[in-house]
Structure formats: C-alpha cells, structure tokens
Amino acid sequence: MNFEEKRKELVESLKDRGILTQQNVIDAMLKVPRELFIPEDVKSSAYVDSPLSIGSGQTISAPHMNAMMCEILELKEGEKVLEVGTGSGYHAALCAEIIAPPDSKSPGHIYTIERHEDLAENARENFKKTGYDEVITVIVGDGTLGYDKEAPYDKILVTAASPSDIPSPLKDQLKEGGIMCIPAGSKRFTQYLYKIQNIDGETKKKKITGVRFVPLMGKHGFE
Ligand code: SAM
C-alpha cells in the first residue's frame, strides 16, 4: 500500500471539510506516518478517518480529531506541552513535529502520561522508530495529577474524557495565557470538547463540539 499517497488524500479531505486550516498542523499531518503507530492488523486502515483499536481496550483517535485538537491548542515551535493519554503516541508525535521538529534544535518538549505500562512502552518504541524520542518523554502514571515536576505548561492536551469537573491539577499546571484542550462530560455518553484558557488568573471554558472518547480514569477522573 502507498501510505504516503493515502496520507496526502486524507489531509486534502480534512482541508476540504474545513477541519485542517493551520499550515503547521497540515505539514505535521503530511509528515508523521500514522501507519507506524498502529498494530499490524489495522495498518490497511491507517488513513481511514476513524478511531482504531490499539490494544488494552484503548483506541487511537480519528485523524480529524487529532487535527481539530492540534488546531485548538494553537501550537507553536519551542513550547512545552503536557499530554494526558499517550496511547499509541501518534498525537504526541504530531505535536512534536510542530513544537520541536527533528534537527531544529528547538527547546520545545512534550511530556506524555499513560496509565497502561504496555501502551507506554509501545509508544516509546514508536518514538524511537520515527525519530521523536528525544523530544518526547513518556511517563507511566495517573495523568489526572498532571506532571508537577515540569509544570507550568504552555499547552495541555487530554485525550480521554474527563468528568465535567476538569481535574484541578491540570488547571493549576497550565501557564497564564496557556491553552488546554480536553473532552469532558459523562463516562460513556454525552461528552464535549473544551478549550480551556487561563486568562488574568481566571480559567475560561469554551465548548467546541460533541465528541466520544474513552474515559479518563484516576484520582481526579472516573473510578
Ligand atoms: N493520544 C492517543 C494516541 O495518539 O494514540 C490516544 C489516546 S486514547 C483515546 C486515551 C488514552 O488515555 C488511553 O491510552 C488510556 O489508557 C489513557 N488514559 C486514561 N486515563 C488516564 C490517566 N488517568 N492517565 C494517563 N492515561 C490515561
């Protein structure tokens, strides 16, 4: 299968649908090989715009969701990003391609937290394979606690659905002026994607669209 051709076609269709608009996100989606982040048995669907199973009962989000979330975050080169929910590592690699492209010597870095050890280890291997291992640090643990050691973050990306009450450690670890993109709502049904911003010491929350994500488990998540 010609993955590069399929990748280009997917990007063109996301542009036509008005989902992909920011040039740095378009370039990243054209560059990062989604086929190298997913299991062998679903590789032929690498560029179908749908979520895919990645093991441990988890999924990699549909490409339109990756694109939308990257655009909400307004990512810029040199930023420090926290991702909660590493999964396959694909979404973190997209962010890395924008904030710290390989060979750019950019100070940008991504800290990504995954609660399943096997998924975290698989993502580490995926980053090595694709050359993003120096700009992405994978942590195994409860991402609802954030990662205080490297806080505050310019941007926070949460890729599992939180309860409506957004985990307070994540709000506290977001820089003044920073942006968090997070799905929130009920565990299995009504969920919305939110853009959260810390402005003048206040947390502002904007509802973007209805979504469907696996639940964010943990101390400040679901039980
Ligand atoms: N970003 C991923 C990718 O590109 O493949 C997709 C993530 S998947 C939709 C959600 C992930 O969040 C799952 O891998 C799940 O194990 C993880 N997760 C759920 N609750 C978590 C928590 N409290 N801390 C860290 N990871 C969590």
Locate the domains of the chain by residue range.
3-210
User: Tens digit of pLDDT for each residue in 35-69?
Assistant: 999 999 999 999 999 999 999 899 999 999 999 99
pLDDT of 105: 86
Residues in the chain, total: 223
pLDDT of 102: 77
User: Distance (Å, rounded) from C-alpha 151 to C-alpha 5?
Assistant: 39
Q: Which of 64, 95, 115, 127 most suits a substitution to test ligand 1, by most atoms within 8 Å of the C-beta?
A: 115
- State if residue 217 touches ligand 1 by the CB under 6 angstroms criterion: yes
pLDDT of 70: 98
Ligand 1 atom with the smallest distance to the CA of 85 is 12
Average pLDDT over residues 75-98: 98
Q: How many other C-beta atoms lie within 10 A of the C-beta of residue 199?
A: 10
User: Tens digit of pLDDT for each residue in 94-116?
Assistant: 999 999 987 788 999 999 999 99
Query: Is the confidence at residue 176, as pLDDT, over 80?
Result: yes
Between the CA of 174 and the centroid of ligand 1 the distance, in Å, is 19
Q: Which CATH number fits domain 3-210: 3.40.50.150, 1.10.260.40, 3.40.50.920, 3.40.605.10?
A: 3.40.50.150
Average pLDDT over residues 70-83: 98
pLDDT of 12: 98
pLDDT of 188: 84
List the Cα angle 50/53/55 in 5-degree steps.
160
Q: What does each C-alpha distance from 51 to 102, 115, 145, 212 come to in angstroms?
A: 27, 19, 26, 10
pLDDT of 207: 97
Longest dimension (CA), the chain: 51
User: Mutual orientation of helices 90-99 and 63-73 as an angle, nearest 10°?
Assistant: 40
Q: Which of 217, 220, 222 most suits a substitution to test ligand 1, by most atoms within 8 Å of the C-beta?
A: 217
13 is catalytic: no
Element (DSSP H or E) covering residue 15 = helix 3-16
- Between strands 136-140 and 153-158, the pairing is unpaired
Q: What does each C-alpha distance from 4 to 8, 9, 32, 67, 187 come to in angstroms?
A: 6, 9, 10, 17, 36
- State if residue 142 touches ligand 1 by the CB under 6 angstroms criterion: yes
pLDDT of 76: 97
- State if residue 183 touches ligand 1 by the CB under 6 angstroms criterion: no
Q: State percent of the chain over pLDDT 90.
A: 92
Q: Which of 78-113 are b and which e, b meaning 16 or more Cβ less than 10 Å from the residue's Cβ?
A: ebbbbbbbbbbbbbbbbbbbbbbbeeeebebbbbbb
pLDDT of 202: 87
User: Tens digit of pLDDT for each residue in 111-168?
Assistant: 999 999 999 999 999 999 999 999 999 999 999 999 999 999 999 999 999 999 999 9
Structure tokens at 123: 């993502």
Average pLDDT over residues 19-40: 98
Mean residue pLDDT across the chain? 96
pLDDT of 1: 76
